[in-house]
A and B are shown apart, each in its own frame.
Chain A
Amino acid sequence: MINSFLRYTVIFVVIVLVQVVLLDNLQISRYAVPFLYILFLLVLPFETPGWLLLLLAFLLGFTIDLFEHTLGLHTSATLFTAWLRPGVLRLIAPRDGYTPNTRPGIADYGTGWFLRYTVPLTLAHHLFLFYFEAFSFHHFFNTLARALVSSAFTLGLMLLSQLFVIKNRRE
């Protein structure tokens, strides 16, 4: 219990630092802003109770908001993603459910499953975030393009992060 508390605290800190120190300063194109930080929500154990998931989402979003000089934008988008997570997990569950002591990731469930898990949630998060940020449908397609390109970028980084996890386990 204490062990996993420590483990996820470290993951939280690392992911937030990667987001605000690295990704926010990485300006590849004016369209692409990867928001990798939601990976923290996605890698939480299957058994995480719903209330804890939502509270952690609030904490995560609020932390990012502080660094991004926004207020409420990331918090609301992250909460929305957290709310969708149990539903998505149920939809894509393997026939005999999730085995205890496994974690959501490529290492335990394969790339196909991982994509079915991350693509809808990342899209939901980014679309919510970008439209809320624009605060109108005035430049509908411009905002859509920004959200889609950023999602692709975020997903690419999520896949990369999984390579890191697998390697870690074999050692």
Chain B
Amino acid sequence: MRNLLNLIYRYHFSLLFLLLETVAVSMGVRYNLYQKAKFVGFTENIAAFFNESVSSFTDYFHLVETNRRLSLENTMLRNQLQRVYRSDELFFFSEHDTIHRQKYFFTSARVISNTVTRMHNYLTLDKGRDQGIEPDMGVICPEGIVGVTTGVTGNFTSVLSVLNLNFHVSAKLKKNDYFGTISWDGQDYRTVILSEIPYHVDVSPGDTVVTSGYSSLFPEGIPIGTVIEAHVENGNFYHIRVRLFTDFRHLTYVDVIRNLQKEEQQKLRQE
């Protein structure tokens, strides 16, 4: 017994290290293997508060760029509006047809922290549960997709970025509707990988990739990017590199998507 105590005393430094390191590594492994455990709480709020202060300052540097983008988007929306009003058919639908009712609802939010250099990148938004945001909602920006909400507190939301090894979303080729999965390989913040497209499909550089609408997160046809290169891997499926439309270095305002029929859709799938 005395010897044991002596031994513990002699190696207490390394023993304590092993103990603490086991705790830390097991946390890290769990974090790596599963999606970020919904670990948002008091401490997250403090971090978000700091990030918001920093962001409210640094936003000034991006004002010119942000204004330019907003004005571009305005023009685009105005054009769409024109088209809707001119098309008698669409106007008719929204007036009388209860089947074509609104399915998605968008909430604008500001990005207060964002990374692109890690393997598991996250964004933080300045809106949360009090503003109607819930976990597992899609997030987009005018250019394309951004990510999925994971943890939500009263006034902040953390978003699993497309640039995260845990991110997967169903996507399709715009020209022929063949669908596959978009994921990130951790290599370059400007490109993602589209997989599971069968080898007989015609794919060429420049093709547009959009969301498929099969998941309840994103509406169909949200732009993702364009094909840069495609080659067949392991005989059956393409390995397609896609250049993202979204510029993750310049994200200021994003839209969070509420799918009004999500519960209905998921209920059906479970049955």
Contacts and interface: CB of A to CB of B under 8 A. Distances in A.
A72 B26 contact: yes
B119 A76 contact: no
Contacts of B188: 30
* Interface residues of chain A: helix, strand, loop or mixed (majority): helix
**Which 6 pairs between the two chains have the least Cβ-Cβ distance?**
A72-B27, A72-B28, A76-B24, A50-B13, A75-B24, A71-B31
Contacts of A67: 47, 50
The bracket for how many chain B residues form the interface is 35 or more
Contacts of A101: none
Interface of A: 20-21, 24-25, 27, 30-33, 50-51, 54-55, 57-58, 61, 66-73, 75-76, 79-80, 82-83, 86, 132-135, 139, 142
A77 to B, nearest CB: 8
Interface string B1-40: 0000000000011101100110111111111100011010
Contacts of A132: 25, 28, 32
A86 B29 CA distance: 27
Contact of A25 (B31, B54, B187): B54
Interface of B: 12-14, 16-17, 20-21, 23-32, 36-37, 39, 43-44, 46-47, 50, 54, 58, 113, 115-120, 122, 124, 158, 165, 185-189, 249
B47 A79 contact: no
B112 to A, nearest CB: 11
Nearest to A50: B13
25 contacts: A24-B113, A25-B54, A25-B113, A27-B249, A30-B116, A30-B189, A54-B17, A54-B20, A61-B24, A66-B43, A66-B44, A66-B47, A67-B50, A69-B36, A69-B120, A71-B30, A71-B31, A71-B36, A72-B24, A72-B26, A76-B24, A82-B17, A132-B28, A139-B186, A139-B187
